Structure 1
Amino acid sequence: MEYKVISADGHIDLIWLPHDLFTTNATAAMKDRMPYVIEAEDGLRWVSKKGSQFGLVNGMGSAGRPYIPGQIQRSDRMAAEGIYEDGKKGIRRMTDPALRIKDQDRDGIQAEVLYGVLGAGIRLQDPEAAVEVCRIYNQWLQDFTKHDPDRLIGLASLPAGDVNAAKEEVLRAGKLGLKGLEFATTHEMTPLWDPYWEPLWQAIDEVSLPIHFHTTGNKRPPMDENLPQRAKRAAAATGITNFQLFTSNFLCGMIFAGVLERYRNVRVVLGESGIGWIPYVLDRMDYEWEDQFKSDLDLTMKPSEYWYRQCKATFQYDEIGVLLLDKLGAECIMWGNDFPHPDGVWPDSLEYIERQFGHLDPEVKHKIICQNAMDFYGLVSS
């Protein structure tokens, strides 16, 4: 495979998976606690017996929303390529590996990094069942990526509610041939600076697979349904504008807790985090460390130096970040198209790449859209 463009952020959402995947592969004790599909008034839906709602089968985005023409411009563009209509016909372009690769080809992409079931475990409201969901999904992902391991770069999903369960899945994932780990964070979980997570860091260091934290956004406050539509749209705009910034908590927590100091094999990716905010946070971390925490945190380098040594971030479109490459480090960022989510840039990736990076030195551009991902995930161009 000759790599020219690699998307470091793609998705396989639960709603596009085979309908009986979890109920068929769960242990006898867990079958009744697994996600499954029912026929509802608005179509087939993924649910659980505990009342969890995962969205429409083959719906839009990770939450399986219905596609409504004219509501989101990027969704309209994707709809024009037949994704949602095919989904309604039961054609699972996201989770049929041959069809997925055709969609990569359509977008000029030679490989993509695949984030997994994201917040599905959170919505399940059953921590033990979430562990089983991750186990089943990771086994399925191993088979999926075997179709073309040079193009389909799978990340094993880790449960967030139990450090020991997460540790065991890390060790198992290390034997599945997957290229990385994805930690499905929740707003209620123990913060990453807490020593509670030490067994997880030890396991990740042992298997030497990169750990990925995909952006989840801040927890939104309850909303009065009687508010006028203008206020509801303002709330939605506020949330979608700021949702990437919450990722700074993962970066700060791990660096200040000395995780990257103690474990050189722990490499961190902030998925779909955007990059424009990162130089500011690195500067603040260095300042506060110098000012009041230097004697307390047992770090042998400035906080920002751990970023340059062990961290990366992905983004699809960030003009401010591109202006700050000298502060970010061109080796520390990886472009992604976020396929098939509605805030992504598929099937117009090459246009967005040219718009952002056309003015850069070709070598720098190649690093961002290809070489960094190749090096990070051990891909070899032929």
Structure 2
Amino acid sequence: MSPSDTLAAASAAGTTPGATTVPRIVSVDDHVVEPPDLWSSRLPSRYRDIGPRIEYHPQGEVTLDGGTYRERPGTEGRNVAWWMYEDHTYSVKRLIAAAGYRPEEITTDGITYDEMRPGCWQPQARIADMEMNHTDASLCFPNYPRFCGQLFAERNDKELSLLCVQAYNDWMVDEWCGDSGGRLIPLCLVPLWDAEMAAAEVRRNAERGVRAVAFSELPTWLGLPSIHSGHWDPFFAACAETGTVVCMHIGSGTRTVSPAPDAPDAVTASLIFCNSAASLIDFLFSGVLHRWPDLKLMYAEAQIGWIPYALERADDVWETHQGWSEARRNTPEPPSHYYYRQVYGCFFKDSVGIDLLDRVGVDNITFETDYPHADGTWPDTEAVATRLFGHLDPEAVYKIARGNAIKLLGLDFDQ
């Protein structure tokens, strides 16, 4: 696309004349707060008392263990919304429904659904909030099941777990995205405990137009087989065959990197990109991208400034240490070859990555708003995007704001 064509597309996409060169955003990382009846209205009656359901109880003590909250309801005080599922209890928190609140108000305290913006969990209200935020379309990761549905893999009754995964996907396709006119983009889950069942769920959803699936950036951190083992080959084959993008959200390995057990949470929050760096390098040397050249990976909320050095180091190991490191066992081309061909990063707070754009790859990055999380840029995403990359040439601006996401997910926009 030429710069003049790009400017015309940007204008058609809703750019405000004279105000900015950034077209309306296609965000590939937002979140949904699951509605209270998502599972209780879909599960068989025999499971409704043990499957995921909302109950109201007092706030309890909350601790964060890696990427997992450890908590139980309290015995006194005001009632807040709690998800109850087998032996698991989880309060709905201000931290994950932060849109519209000041930073000092965003805590891990529990809330009710009446205390969050309706756009957190109601599709039409979400679209209204997207209109306020210069956003055309949005791909949403889950909250309660965690970023790739780890919760269901951890529970005891796997028949119920499978029904929960399928119920989530049916809700995602039919209700969350169904009447949005393509503005809410479906992202589905798979049963992580069985690769063949995961492949079947990918194909089931692909048949109804789903082009994105959530997966763990580091499955071994969940106690699952590695991507080197061959265990996941049926899943990767299904994704490649159906054009389903493997979307890995930061923290989807549940664990986080910390140099000391008594380090403040700020340390792990600053180091969280290390999870995605480890995952990317794992994939680059695994042979997965070589065996399935049509497979596409997307790293959500990982930012992008770390990518050039990770690629440089991986390529150097591939060349310099080929004699002992098994660098070429599954990777006949330099690792960076597979990155530029098949991998997409995602950012919204990374000026360093933009400074290194020629090495990150203008065709390899997408943008996000992270609504309604505390890190999110709502309702100021247009200003944030303009500040970060509005100075680039029009074609690059278009690709980052929406063009790469449209191509990656096969969206029916700007055609």
The 8 Å contact of residues 210 and 266 in structure 1, kept in 2 or not, is answered as yes
Give the gaps of 5 or more residues in structure 1: 77-83
| Root mean square deviation, CA, Å | 3.1
The 8 Å contact of residues 8 and 113 in structure 1, kept in 2 or not, is answered as yes
Query: After superposition, where does 1:125-204 map in structure 2 within 5 Å?
Result: 125-126=154-155, 128=158, 129-143=160-174, 144-184=176-216, 187-188=221-222, 189-204=224-239
Aligned in 2, Cα 1:65/1:364: closer, same or farther, shift over 3 Å? closer
Secondary structure (helix, strand or coil) at the match of 2:82 reads: strand
Shift of 1:114: 1.9
2:29 maps to which residue? 10
Shift of 1:39: 1.1
Query: After superposition, where does 1:314-333 map in structure 2 within 5 Å?
Result: 314-333=346-365
1:208 maps to which residue? 243
Following TM superposition, the consecutive aligned residue runs of length 4 or more in structure 1 with deviations greater than 6 angstroms are 64-68, 221-224
Residue 44, structure 1, aligned to residue 80, structure 2: yes
Query: After superposition, where does 1:61-140 map in structure 2 within 5 Å?
Result: 61-62=95-96, 70-71=103-104, 75=106, 87-88=113-114, 92-117=118-143, 119=146, 121-123=149-151, 125-126=154-155, 128=158, 129-140=160-171
- TM-score, structure 1 normalization: 0.84
The 8 Å contact of residues 50 and 85 in structure 2, kept in 1 or not, is answered as yes
2:316 maps to which residue? 287
Aligned AA (1:9): V
Aligned AA (1:203): A
Shift of 1:308: 0.5
Aligned in 2, Cα 1:26/1:49: closer, same or farther, shift over 3 Å? same
Shift of 1:319: 1.1
The 8 Å contact of residues 158 and 184 in structure 1, kept in 2 or not, is answered as no
Shift of 1:371: 1.1
The 8 Å contact of residues 257 and 275 in structure 2, kept in 1 or not, is answered as no
Aligned AA (1:347): P
- Partners of 2:194 and 2:228 in 1: CA distance: 16
2:20 maps to which residue? none
Secondary structure (helix, strand or coil) at the match of 1:93 reads: helix
Give the gaps of 5 or more residues in structure 2: 1-11, 15-22, 60-78
Query: After superposition, where does 1:231-246 map in structure 2 within 5 Å?
Result: 234-246=263-275
1:196-235 Cα distance to aligned partner (Å, 9 max, x none): 11111111122121111111067258999xx9xxx6xx52
| Alignment match of 1:301 (pick from 308, 320, 333) | 333
Shift of 1:89: 5.4
Residue 348, structure 1, aligned to residue 363, structure 2: no
Aligned AA (1:193): H
- Partners of 2:310 and 2:162 in 1: CA distance: 33
The 8 Å contact of residues 6 and 373 in structure 1, kept in 2 or not, is answered as no
- Partners of 2:376 and 2:99 in 1: CA distance: 17
- Partners of 1:113 and 1:68 in 2: CA distance: 22
- Partners of 1:374 and 1:295 in 2: CA distance: 34
Q: What's the % identity of the aligned pairs?
A: 25
1:81 maps to which residue? none
Residue 254, structure 1, aligned to residue 275, structure 2: no
Q: Higher helix fraction: Structure 1 or Structure 2?
A: 1
Aligned in 2, Cα 1:202/1:239: closer, same or farther, shift over 3 Å? same
The 8 Å contact of residues 317 and 327 in structure 2, kept in 1 or not, is answered as no
Higher mean C-alpha displacement, 85-94 vs 348-357: 85-94
- Partners of 2:100 and 2:399 in 1: CA distance: 35
Higher mean C-alpha displacement, 279-288 vs 41-50: 41-50
Residue 269, structure 1, aligned to residue 298, structure 2: yes
1:86-124 Cα distance to aligned partner (Å, 9 max, x none): 942586322322111110010111111222345274345
Aligned in 2, Cα 1:193/1:46: closer, same or farther, shift over 3 Å? farther
